[in-house]
Structure 1
Amino acid sequence: MLEAVSHSHGTGPSGLARIRGLPKATTCRLVEQLAEPGAVRRHEQRYHNLRPGGEGMNNRAVNVTWSRGMAFGRGVNLLDGAGAGFGVDPGEVGETSAARVVDYGIKVANGLEDLYSSVGLSADGVFGDEGKAGFVKQVSFNSYSTFLIARRAVESSFRHCRSATLGADAWNLLEKGESEIFRRRYGDGYVRGVRIGGEFVAIIEISDDELTATTYQRGGRGGQPVSDVDSMLVRLREFPSLVAENQVPYEAEVAAYETLSRPAGCALVDIAVRRRMLDEYARLTMRLMSLRGDVEFVQLNPELFADPPDLLTLNEWQLHIAGEITKVSRQASACADRADTECPELALNLPEGYRMPERKVPVELRAALLAVLPPAGGDKAPGACRLPTM
């Protein structure tokens, strides 16, 4: 039903009933169940999608990975994901049962940004160090290896604020026109909903004749990491039954303060420009991290390359790239913190003489593994994707 609303924006119950081939009464009941937690917006008997991919998503609500300290009504800085103060009274909390798999598949990561997207993180996750963002940083991404991402997320229920209102202090700040103080104190949005269930993610690095698996799990029984591919595929396949035994919050819905009643004439801080600059900083950081991973790979495997740079040169390149990453991260932090901070464009600054060497021989294992996977960008159920035994 949500898909029908997304593809027929502003359609009433009769139109949705025709699209789905359902009785009008059934359609009304289903779409009202979506409207109650805020998945769709009802206006004059017409329904509009507000979830990812729907109109208004950029300033209405976003889904973020659950992190420590999150709670209904707590503020979130959408520029860096940091928690803020409690500026909202969540009111009554409702619950909608789901019991569904929301993501399931294995794919090849075509670059570091694609890797972040495949595990369910936006580009600015590169600036995070906790939870899933910290897990991805454990992987030394490089262009010489192939990286496979396997993910399965299971949602058992969705809890949401039914009658949230601004708290007294938050209201007073907006009434006085103190929008920047409001933002620093309460962020850009508040936790309106939480998805209960679990998530399992595995990143597999394929390099020559070696497979390295790194896993992340939130919720489900048996959360200990698995390092071999066969165990990873078993965990991926059985994860829904494991989640049934241990359900936890794994994703939050953060709604913009524009969704709440506010003092007449108040203006919230517009973060659109800084959002675009932070996206640029994140992509630049990813490029630098990929280059650092390439240098590290050559350092660890010089025998695989024709005429590799000497270790002293490689070490100097590593230091230079690490310094550039720190510079970009500091600028991103400053840009996210205050509205009066300049957010200048930054260019890629490579080490002097930077040049990656050629590989000596093609990688046979990589070709063998890719032969059983779907084309780049496609998904394939893990049960149908059997990796060669090492």
Structure 2
Amino acid sequence: MPQVPQVRRILFNDEEIGMGFNSESGLAVGTALDSFTIAENPTAPGAEVTSSISIINTHEELQENLGMSFEAQGRYGFFSASTKTKFSESTKFNSTSTFLVARCLVENSMRRGKNFKVTGEAKALLDANRTDEFSRAFGDSFIRGLQTGGEFYAVIRITSVSTSKQSELAATLQAEANGLVASGSFKAAFTEANGSESTRSEFSATMYQKAGTGTQISPTVSIEDVIQRYRQFPEIARANAAAYETEVATYDTLPLPLPTPEEREDFLLALADAREKKLNYIQARNDLEFALKNPMFFRDLPSSETLNGAISDYTKLINAVMAHAIALSRGQITPPQLFDPGSLSPPLTEPGPITLNRVQTAPPPPQVKVPACIDMPVTAVHIKLRQLGLIVRDSAPLEITQDGHLLKGQIVNQSPPAGTMVDVGTEIELVIGNYYEQGPYRRIGRIPN
């Protein structure tokens, strides 16, 4: 919503007083106001008339005289599809001809709405601090008044073989329209100019009029018609006025129940607090319901009665905080307040903390692969096995090989065999040769100590 009240005029586009207006798009939207009255200013019922007959030399001067300059577009806006735009284009302005613009603007007393009331739909959004939704539905402004009266423009193009004669004819026409020379002076001068090939001339006239009915809005064919309509137009606009401008005001100009920045901040804080509490209550209830249905995952659980009682309490808290959030969003809690279960009637109390102890099982020990130890040096094997987390036992009885000799200081057997997967901490039994002996026999047996 705008922070600074604003009032401006825009070209009339069939909007009605009280209708919402979107200043960014320039479109009329929903109506947030009703039960108002419309009246003209009784103390200033008179009209304001502005008129001129101007010779113009540039296209920008033409736009300015038609009230369509760049500055005017900034003030009024949204000319692109207007009838006046089409009229401006029909004048076929060029730099060869001389152009005169006769303009007469009549502004009657502004008709304004008073004692605006907010509709029920709009008030519900404002009460609930839903200002973004209000802006989408009803805009940031409203049509406060209509400017009645009228506009008359006649653009006359004069072209002559002689540039001096062309300027002379334009000056004559301007003087006649302003009453400075006798009526018919332009017609006589124009007829005389066309009597000579060296001063042959032509003219055309186009008109735009907003106000009047019947013969009052008939096309002006001759220069005399243009001058006559130009002089009669204030009376036409008074008798049969048209609405050609609207007065747009931001909603800040009305005593609407718009929230202050502090109220808006408090509302958002209270709404966020309610949502956080609701989610916490839901999670707490879900935890208890899961423990009640799956006791095998927990140890030292409270009794079923205790768990069911806490679940019931959390359900009541969830319902209460949801009702609080809904009342907040509808503007039924003013000023906004944080959810307090103790202030309810009857008051609610959050259950005391219930610790849910998970059943803990020791993870299985990691496993390693037993390395190949036979025929390896004892010291190196001991280091390797300890690095893998295995325990070494090398006190087993010794054996001789089939060729009848032992290799002193080397592993001759192991248990478990190489490649076996065992738990870390497993004992590995090693058989180690302790002397060297040769013989012709080939047998396997134990060697006494």
Q: TM-score range by the shorter chain?
A: 0.3 to 0.5
TM-score in terms of structure 2 length? 0.40
Higher relative contact order (CA 8 A, sep 6+): 1
Larger Cα Rg: Structure 1 or Structure 2? 2
TM-score in terms of structure 1 length? 0.46
